[in-house]
Structure 1
Amino acid sequence: MLIDSPIIAFTILLTVIFTVPPIFEKLRLPGLVGLLIAGVVLGQNGLKLLDSESETIKLLSEIGKLYLMFVAGLEIDLEQFRKTKNRSIGFGTLTFLVPLIAGIIVGKLFNFSWNSSFLIGSLLASHTLLAYPIVSRLGVVTNEAVTVTIGATIFTDTGALLVLAICVGIHGGEFSALSLVTLLGGLAIYSAVVLFGFDWAGKEFFKRSGDEESNQFLFILLALFLASVGAQVIGVEKIVGAFLAGLAVNDVLGRSPVKEKVEFIGSVLFIPCFFVDMGLLIDIPAFLKTLSSIWLTVAIVVALIGSKFLAAFLAKLLYRYNTAELLTMWSLSLPQVAATLAATLVAYQSLNPAGERLISEGVLNSVIVLMLVTAILGPVITARVATSLQVSQTDVETDRLSTWWDSEEEISEETDNFFTVVVPIYNPQTQRHLIEMAALLARHEHGQIVPLAITKAYVNMDAPELITALDKSKQRLQFAREISQEFDVQVSPAIRIDDDIALGISRTSREQNASLVIMGWSRTTGLRARLFGSVIDSVFLSSHCPVAVTRLLTSPTKIKRILVPVGDLTRQTVGAVRFAQILADTNQAEIVLLHVCDRKTSQTLVDKFASGLSAIAAQSKLQVNTNIQTIRGDYIAKVIIQQAQAFDLVVLRSVRYRTAGGLSVSEVTTQVIKELKGSIVLLGEPNS
């Protein structure tokens, strides 16, 4: 009854997805590993609560497989690829061909057919950027070696799926040179239609649909499944269409909230179902038999690790990278998760007319072991070696910030760049300190503040509830005006009626051509709601200017010592330093730029970093007392929290990176905010 009931099977799946990954992550193992093991435990070799042959599991797993490849295409940073296109193609070719050849050699050594051997090689050729959040958190994404590796992903994944399509086609029956040419020609035409047609259609639809996020979300899902069905029609595997659909709508979605929602629904539901189903397919006796004759597994794992290293080494020689960049490129290209697992399952389920599988169960089990090894090894190596990467000072100088503090034009009332601070106000407990902060900055820059009260819209504009809400908004704005007059700054209060609070803030700041948005979070709400709530998320994502989320426990006028933790020399670091310097100049305050480095970091690198930091601090025209402090420590957050006790304010960067689950700030930032007792400014910049 348990196996046959779709509702019970779905309930079991949800329970597993909700409970298992967090447990494994606490054990410092990928949550996906937990889902695989849960599938084994609940499958036919365990408790027999789930059946991989049931229609419910089949449907959810199939959608998860397509979603996995769709997100893989969606998360490829096309902007980064365009910056280093030639070198990305060069490294992509190396990290595709070398593992492909290694896989073919392994296949032939174990007496597989040429077709199966090519397929095994293609499984090793792709890679998943599992460690991307690590390099993002460390602020070294703009390092050329990292950018080249990210850009190479588009080449390796596309190439691996192309080989998969050909191998599956050959395995399916009689396959002549004519049918191969027909398949490649059809695939080329189909790819062009999807990449250019979906991109054009998406931009036109988004332009006309405005802010109708629900319809935009449905359009993206429709694009995913249309592309998958189209791939089947031309005789190509569905996951090829899903990957192309992800690439096609990549530019359309950009960093919009719709993209976060699309990725969120996949990461919390469909993709985990795919991994549970992978676990259900594992036959424990056959898996143990595979491990007992371990040589195939060892050969595949060694071939992958060795070939990826050789490809990175050749790129080092070709492009003259240093050892740290070599190891980072190698570790980033090691993990085999998304494309590898999806393609493996497709190949395993591919049968020829005689009922033979394209790859054996031994290869399937070996690839699962490969996934476990590389999913752990890759991020661990990245976390250790990427700390030695440096972003050159020229990168910081040429990658100009779209902010008022980096503008070469003089801000004045005669220009369109008149300094304006938009301050959304709602909570009376935090309103005074927010207005004071905005007033200090506006007075320093000879600008104005725009206190903003957002009132939720009602169907009827004469609804009593709306009238009451507007009256309360007017009272808050009047209080804001009185506070502003104490600082002798120009104030232009604004009331907006809007269905979406976050978009109301972003639209008003755009209409006012704001230079900065200052927001507060309430101390009465939970940490997760303050940092990851939909309002702050959406404002960060949609704002055209910097956003400062503040927790001010005392008046900003009393701030005399400001701490700015610095982990890299990127444009976001420049922004945090500039913001702190302007705020310090209003109060004649002191700034300390704190760099916490690993104990193993050489003194040469420490001195080089301090020198770069000094150059950034010296670029400001303001005469602010700025000191640099370097501390060696294993736990960055702990050091920052200890040092912050002697300061009135800590300025943190919102290091936001894209994950399959949506928006996140760095682990260090999250821990610092959770445990810090003093005042904080969390600064996020547009497009960061």
Structure 2
Amino acid sequence: MEQLLQNLPDSPILEFTILLLVILTVPPIFEKLKLPGLVGLLVAGVLLGPHGATLLNPEGETIALLSDIGKIYLMFVAGLEIDLEQFRKTKDRSMIFGAATFFVPLIVGTAIGRFFGFDWNASILIGSLLASHTLLGYPIVNRLGVVGNEAVTVTIGATIFTDIAALLVLAICVSINAGNFTPETLVIQLAALGIYAVAVLFGLDWAGKEFFRRTGDEEGNQFLFVLLAVFLASVGAQIINVDKIVGAFLAGLAVNDAVGNGPVKEKVEFVGSVMFIPFFFVGMGLLLNIPAFAKTLTSSLGMTLAISIGLLTAKFVAALVAKVLYRYQWVETLTMWSLSVPQVAATLAAALVGVQQGIITDEVFNTIVVLMLLTSILGPLMTAQFASRLPLTQAQIDAQERLIWWEQHEQQETGKVSQREPSSSPFTVVVPIYNPLTERYLIEMAALLARHEQGHIVPLSVAMGHVHMDDPELDGAIAQSERLLSRSLDIAREFEVEAQPELRIDDDVARGISRVAREKQAGLIVMGWSPTTSLRARLFGNVINDVFWASHCPVAVTRLMDEPMNMHRILVPVKDLSPQSLRTVWFAQLFADANEAQIELLHVCDRRTPPEQIDRFEMELSKVLGDSPLSVSSHIKTIAHDDVTKVILRAARSADLVILRSVRRRTAGGLAISNVTTQVIQDLACSVVLFGEPHS
């Protein structure tokens, strides 16, 4: 083995190859063991570093560069993923809770540092490490449909205050540690930091919005602009003697509004979660001194316990303050506590800066790693336990918000209350066609829906444009499109539905589909399925993803194994009562009513979900079904199980069609997690419809 290691070339390419292999294989293994993937990256770093196989050198230029980029990217994504819209809704309460959940841990951490003999600078930095938090539990509250709960919204908004404040304390501590500290230099440093923060937050925000407005759909240039913004802000932070992670976080906040929730944000986070951020966690593992780490858990066990217990206690006290001030229920208070406990992104990045600058010792750094491991596991577990008991506020949707494209005129006819005027244009379904083998099923499904709504369909074929309009390839594409459109007319006549075929020449298929749908004032796009598993598709997107992002109306992506007329048993998994989930249910009702089918609504909950929570969910869902003007036979089934995918696949064996909601899921720390929808689609043997909202 030693001979083999000696024969390996000592080059950056080898280290980069090893890193890619680690981030590809290790996180999935740890996720199967019910452990966070980032823990696996830390372990891999330890095993491959100087205290293991010595394949990676933490002091080498390659590892140092990639780890620094990952650290910057991690803080940038932390700023980018903060929901500014949620913050604006409850900014006053978010600021107050943010102050409480920052200053209480800061004071407790400082007291712990002084108790164990650290100077004031190191003690305050230890306190600031406990003051921030990472929203690892956000995917859980999102899955449970309780993001709209005020206590959850306030906690999410408080992240802005805690992260910025913690990074400011870090900047001051680093400045003090550099020496020559006087009150005058502190004032100058704070003034420079204030000017810099304003320049980044407002300057990059303005520049980002202008650049995105002028470049339109040029996603490649927009992606490069975002990368330039984060590294430019990081360099600017270093110029004023502030750590680069401060600039990265501020850059994330600055471009937040410009990027929005569009495809550029998905690509930015995809690159970070797949490559750069894992590099940082592997680099963290390389820095862990195993003998010192073991010593910390033994000789410094008191400090480890003090910091861990101090964090949990301080965060609970801060949540208790919010309960007293705003009269939250106990379950809301405990949810706020659980969401503010995890210490990952800002904490780890700041701790690494602190130990590199010599402000805190290796013992404190190791203790922070222990704290990260503890809270990253404990926090989400507590969130799942407490958030499942929160009131289902999203089910109390105003009747006007429940109105969707196919219900508007029907509610007018049935006398149901509506604040909207019925649409003057007929219901239009745009059907992009490309594959002759799937054309009939697509047209048939669109025709059933359009006939039910007394509307019409628009069969659409997009021929890729060329520089020369007399190019033979373009002539062939146009001829093929005309044949497809002619056939679509014949199929539409069979169902006695009006068809208005459209041939479009465009450089981008997705844009052509979205623009035709807008021009025709379409209420729905029905399109066929295409694989999305390739790296290029995940990085640059494919036609389906781009249509989801760009469309103004809902999109139904289909993979049909039989004629839609033969589909009479429809399965609809329902994970929460959010408006997006309910609109998926209403789409299923529309198709079922058009095809005289039955619907089974399947809700898979956690095994620990209280029975009263399940009863309340079913009651709210039954109420939603009762409000619908469509008389469709529906059945609600709830199953408590840990494996959602397995339950859905088992239930799908007796279904003709499964209708799923299109969902993209990420973690707040930027590490991607498995998507139930993706796995279900891959393993389903029956027909499937993936229903997505505009800009989803």
User: Could you say if the C-alpha distance between residues 675 and 387 of structure 1 is closer, same or farther in structure 2, counting changes exceeding 3 Å?
Assistant: farther
Larger mean Cα displacement after TM superposition, 257-266 or 670-679 = 670-679
Q: SS of the residue aligned with 2:388?
A: helix
- Mapped pair 1:64 → 2:70: yes
CA distance in 2, matches of 1:123, 1:16: 28
Q: Name the structure 2 match of 1:296.
A: 303
- Mapped pair 1:359 → 2:365: no
Per the TM alignment, residue 156 of structure 1 is displaced from its structure 2 partner at its CA by 0.9
User: Could you say if the C-alpha distance between residues 539 and 92 of structure 1 is closer, same or farther in structure 2, counting changes exceeding 3 Å?
Assistant: same
CA distance in 1, matches of 2:62, 2:607: 52
Per the TM alignment, residue 581 of structure 1 is displaced from its structure 2 partner at its CA by 1.8
Q: SS of the residue aligned with 1:562?
A: strand
TM-score of the aligned structures, taking structure 1 as reference length: 0.92
Per the TM alignment, residue 117 of structure 1 is displaced from its structure 2 partner at its CA by 0.8
Per the TM alignment, residue 65 of structure 1 is displaced from its structure 2 partner at its CA by 1.1
User: Could you say if the C-alpha distance between residues 298 and 665 of structure 1 is closer, same or farther in structure 2, counting changes exceeding 3 Å?
Assistant: closer
Residue-by-residue CA offset, 1:443-479 (whole Å, 9 max, x unaligned): 2222221212222333332221221122111111111
CA contact (8 A) 1:260 1:661 kept: no
Equivalent residues in 2 for 1:34-113, closer than 5 Å: 34-113=40-119
Give me the identity figure in percent.
Answer: 61
Aligned to 2:257, which of 251, 257, 273?
251
Q: Name the structure 2 match of 1:353.
A: none
Aligned to 2:467, which of 459, 480, 488?
459
CA contact (8 A) 2:77 2:670 kept: no
- Mapped pair 1:329 → 2:330: no
CA contact (8 A) 2:262 2:695 kept: no
Residue-by-residue CA offset, 1:340-369 (whole Å, 9 max, x unaligned): 11111111111xxxxxx1011111111111
- Mapped pair 1:305 → 2:305: no
CA distance in 2, matches of 1:530, 1:208: 26
User: Could you say if the C-alpha distance between residues 594 and 48 of structure 1 is closer, same or farther in structure 2, counting changes exceeding 3 Å?
Assistant: closer
Per the TM alignment, residue 415 of structure 1 is displaced from its structure 2 partner at its CA by 5.0
User: Could you say if the C-alpha distance between residues 21 and 645 of structure 1 is closer, same or farther in structure 2, counting changes exceeding 3 Å?
Assistant: closer
- Mapped pair 1:116 → 2:122: yes
Q: SS of the residue aligned with 2:602?
A: strand
- Mapped pair 1:379 → 2:380: yes
- Mapped pair 1:134 → 2:135: no
Q: Name the structure 2 match of 1:677.
A: 685
- Mapped pair 1:583 → 2:584: no
Extract unaligned runs of 5+ from structure 1.
351-356
CA distance in 1, matches of 2:92, 2:552: 31
CA contact (8 A) 1:594 1:630 kept: yes
Equivalent residues in 2 for 1:124-523, closer than 5 Å: 124-293=130-299, 294-350=301-357, 357-392=358-393, 395-397=396-398, 400=401, 403-405=404-406, 407=408, 415=423, 417-521=425-529
CA contact (8 A) 2:146 2:393 kept: no
Per the TM alignment, residue 70 of structure 1 is displaced from its structure 2 partner at its CA by 0.6
CA contact (8 A) 2:571 2:601 kept: yes
Larger mean Cα displacement after TM superposition, 631-640 or 432-441 = 631-640
Per the TM alignment, residue 131 of structure 1 is displaced from its structure 2 partner at its CA by 2.4
The number of residue pairs the alignment matches comes to 680
Given residue 223 of structure 1, which amino acid in structure 2 is its aligned partner? A
Q: SS of the residue aligned with 2:133?
A: coil
Q: SS of the residue aligned with 2:146?
A: coil
User: Could you say if the C-alpha distance between residues 508 and 465 of structure 1 is closer, same or farther in structure 2, counting changes exceeding 3 Å?
Assistant: same
User: Could you say if the C-alpha distance between residues 623 and 67 of structure 1 is closer, same or farther in structure 2, counting changes exceeding 3 Å?
Assistant: same
Residue-by-residue CA offset, 1:367-414 (whole Å, 9 max, x unaligned): 111111111222222233333233225642278268414657979999
User: Could you say if the C-alpha distance between residues 605 and 32 of structure 1 is closer, same or farther in structure 2, counting changes exceeding 3 Å?
Assistant: closer
Per the TM alignment, residue 587 of structure 1 is displaced from its structure 2 partner at its CA by 2.4
CA distance in 2, matches of 1:610, 1:268: 38
CA distance in 2, matches of 1:598, 1:378: 16
User: Could you say if the C-alpha distance between residues 56 and 668 of structure 1 is closer, same or farther in structure 2, counting changes exceeding 3 Å?
Assistant: closer
Q: Name the structure 2 match of 1:354.
A: none
User: Could you say if the C-alpha distance between residues 526 and 546 of structure 1 is closer, same or farther in structure 2, counting changes exceeding 3 Å?
Assistant: closer
CA distance in 1, matches of 2:561, 2:381: 38
Larger mean Cα displacement after TM superposition, 430-439 or 616-625 = 616-625
CA contact (8 A) 1:137 1:655 kept: no
Residue-by-residue CA offset, 1:231-269 (whole Å, 9 max, x unaligned): 122222111111111101011111221112212222222
User: Could you say if the C-alpha distance between residues 28 and 596 of structure 1 is closer, same or farther in structure 2, counting changes exceeding 3 Å?
Assistant: closer
Given residue 481 of structure 1, which amino acid in structure 2 is its aligned partner? L
Given residue 198 of structure 1, which amino acid in structure 2 is its aligned partner? L
Larger mean Cα displacement after TM superposition, 212-221 or 651-660 = 651-660
Q: Name the structure 1 match of 2:649.
A: 641
Per the TM alignment, residue 530 of structure 1 is displaced from its structure 2 partner at its CA by 13
Q: SS of the residue aligned with 2:162?
A: helix
Q: Name the structure 1 match of 2:546.
A: 538
Q: SS of the residue aligned with 2:398?
A: helix
CA distance in 2, matches of 1:199, 1:602: 45
Given residue 643 of structure 1, which amino acid in structure 2 is its aligned partner? A
Per the TM alignment, residue 108 of structure 1 is displaced from its structure 2 partner at its CA by 0.9
Per the TM alignment, residue 648 of structure 1 is displaced from its structure 2 partner at its CA by 2.7
Residue-by-residue CA offset, 1:609-660 (whole Å, 9 max, x unaligned): 2221122112222233333334444444333333333333222222333447
Q: SS of the residue aligned with 1:488?
A: coil
Q: Name the structure 1 match of 2:417.
A: none
Per the TM alignment, residue 552 of structure 1 is displaced from its structure 2 partner at its CA by 2.0
Given residue 326 of structure 1, which amino acid in structure 2 is its aligned partner? T
Extract unaligned runs of 5+ from structure 2.
1-5, 414-419
CA distance in 2, matches of 1:542, 1:418: 22
CA distance in 2, matches of 1:534, 1:9: 32
CA distance in 1, matches of 2:298, 2:45: 22
CA contact (8 A) 1:644 1:650 kept: yes
CA distance in 2, matches of 1:181, 1:279: 37
CA distance in 1, matches of 2:119, 2:335: 35
CA contact (8 A) 1:454 1:501 kept: yes
Given residue 326 of structure 2, which amino acid in structure 1 is its aligned partner? Y
- Mapped pair 1:614 → 2:614: no
Per the TM alignment, residue 584 of structure 1 is displaced from its structure 2 partner at its CA by 1.9
CA contact (8 A) 2:26 2:44 kept: yes
CA contact (8 A) 1:99 1:303 kept: yes
CA distance in 2, matches of 1:72, 1:125: 15
Q: SS of the residue aligned with 1:434?
A: helix
Given residue 337 of structure 1, which amino acid in structure 2 is its aligned partner? V
Larger mean Cα displacement after TM superposition, 399-408 or 443-452 = 399-408
Cα RMSD between the aligned structures?
2.7
